[in-house]
Amino acid sequence: MAGGYDRAITVFSPDGHLFQVEYALEAVRKGTTTVGVRGKDSVVLAVEKRATPKLQDPRTIRKILTIDQGVALAFAGLNADARVLVNKTRVECQSYRLNVEDAPTVDYVARFVARTQQKYTHRGGVRPFGISTLIGGFDKDGKPSLFQTDPSGTHYAWQATAIGKNSKSVVDFLEKKYAEDLDAAATVRLALKGLLEVTEASGKNIEVVQISKDTIKWFTDDEIDPLVKELDDTAEKIAKLKEQA
Residues taking part in catalysis: 32
Amino acid identity for residue 36 in this structure: G
Cβ-proximal residues to 146 (8 Å cutoff; 6+ apart), any chain: 36, 37, 38, 43, 134, 135, 136, 157, 158, 159, 160, 161
Collapsed DSSP state (helix, strand, coil) of residue 43 = strand
Q: Which among 111, 117, 67 is positioned nearest to 91, based on CA atoms?
A: 67
Q: Which among 113, 75, 115, 63 is positioned nearest to 93, based on CA atoms?
A: 113
Asked if residues 36 and 134 have their Cβ atoms less than 8 Å apart, the reply is yes
**Pairing of β 42-48 and β 206-212:** antiparallel
User: What CA–CA distance (Å, rounded) separates 211 from 200?
Assistant: 25
Collapsed DSSP state (helix, strand, coil) of residue 139 = coil
Residue 47's alpha-carbon distances to 98, 119, 153, 181, 198, in angstroms, are: 32, 27, 22, 22, 12
Q: State which H helix or E strand residue 155 sits in.
A: strand 155-158
Q: State which H helix or E strand residue 21 sits in.
A: helix 19-29
Asked if residues 58 and 50 have their Cβ atoms less than 8 Å apart, the reply is no
